[in-house]
Structure 1
Amino acid sequence: MDHARNHQAAFTAPPFPGWGAGWQAPRPAAGRREGALLGVGIALWGVTYVSLGLLTCAWGVVLIFWAAAGEPVGPYVLHTVGAALGAAVLLAALAFAPGIRKLSAAARLALLGALACPGPLVLALWTWSAMD
């Protein structure tokens, strides 16, 4: 209780007139570690989304050509959508796991990005190299 009283005593005067007693000091900015984790997470998810975009475009072109040739594309679409949904469910289950939920948001973003990135990236690079 004394700690709370001492903490409040340090911020009794608002910085501007009219702000009233509800004023609180701003929270300190995130440290370097959180900023670095956030940058890594954003970079990993950016690479993942670019890879998935390339794969989606390439797969769409292939499906259009197969459909134009009279090939049934339904099973291919179902397998692709099933694999994508399965990966999304696994990542969501991991994101809500008790041990992972205790991490900060930046650490969770980086961890899930590191797990989500390699599959689409390798597949996109393999697809890009096979386009010659």
Structure 2
Amino acid sequence: MNPSTQAALYGPWQPAQPAQPARGGRPVVVVLAALLWAVTALSVSLIGGLACIALLWTAAAGEPAAGLVLPLLLIPAGAAGITALARAPRVRALTASTRMLLLGAVACPVPTALAVWLWALTG
């Protein structure tokens, strides 16, 4: 390429600037968000495991399982609500760590309370 064309298209040559290190989130916010999401994931897995056991016992008894399956459809509905909240413009403007803390705080209470109630109920 002709040097004058290079200068006309891209300006004068300059050495590349060193990359800036990625700014991490505040450690306390990151740890709290991770704890909230860990509790949420454990709660949903406990609910799912108990639901699988109940569905297996219901199928083994030869009874219809519609009464057990319908409440489980609330889990994808809740996930869709959390996803819709995550796509809101004001939430997307937050930093990643703050966004995850907010979404974890919204997602955590219902499955955790249900898991504790089921754990107490089943012994």
Q: TM-score range by the shorter chain?
A: 0.7 to 0.9
Instruction: Mark the CA change 1:28 to 1:93 in structure 2 (over 3 Å): closer, same or farther.
Output: closer
Q: Percent identity?
A: 35
1:63 aligns with 2:66: no
Higher mean alpha-carbon deviation, 122-131 vs 107-116, is at 122-131
Provide the C-alpha distance between the structure 1 equivalents of 2:87 and 2:50, rounded to a whole number of angstroms: 32
Structure 2 match to 1:131: 122
Provide the C-alpha distance between the structure 2 equivalents of 1:92 and 1:100, rounded to a whole number of angstroms: 11
Aligned residue for 2:122, secondary structure, equals coil
Structure 1 match to 2:36: 44
Verify the 8 A CA contact 2:51 2:68 in the aligned structure 1. Answer: no
Structure 2 match to 1:93: 84
Provide the C-alpha distance between the structure 1 equivalents of 2:118 and 2:91, rounded to a whole number of angstroms: 33
Gaps of 5+ in 1: 1-19
TM-score under structure 1 length normalisation: 0.75
Provide the C-alpha distance between the structure 2 equivalents of 1:24 and 1:39, rounded to a whole number of angstroms: 30
Provide the C-alpha distance between the structure 2 equivalents of 1:86 and 1:75, rounded to a whole number of angstroms: 17
Provide the C-alpha distance between the structure 2 equivalents of 1:77 and 1:50, rounded to a whole number of angstroms: 20
Provide the C-alpha distance between the structure 2 equivalents of 1:51 and 1:57, rounded to a whole number of angstroms: 10
Residue from 22, 27, 30 that aligns with 2:21: 27
1:73 aligns with 2:65: yes
Residue from 100, 108, 116 that aligns with 1:117: 108
Please give the per-residue CA displacement for 1:28-59, whole angstroms capped at 9, x wherever unaligned. Answer: 6436xx22111111110000001111111111
Residue correspondences, number: 110
Query: Displacement of 1:106 after TM fit?
Result: 0.3
Provide the C-alpha distance between the structure 1 equivalents of 2:70 and 2:36, rounded to a whole number of angstroms: 27
Aligned residue for 1:27, secondary structure, equals coil
Provide the C-alpha distance between the structure 2 equivalents of 1:98 and 1:26, rounded to a whole number of angstroms: 27
Amino acid across the alignment from 1:129: A
Structure 1 match to 2:98: 107
Aligned residue for 2:21, secondary structure, equals coil
Provide the C-alpha distance between the structure 2 equivalents of 1:90 and 1:28, rounded to a whole number of angstroms: 30
Provide the C-alpha distance between the structure 1 equivalents of 2:22 and 2:108, rounded to a whole number of angstroms: 32
Provide the C-alpha distance between the structure 2 equivalents of 1:42 and 1:105, rounded to a whole number of angstroms: 12
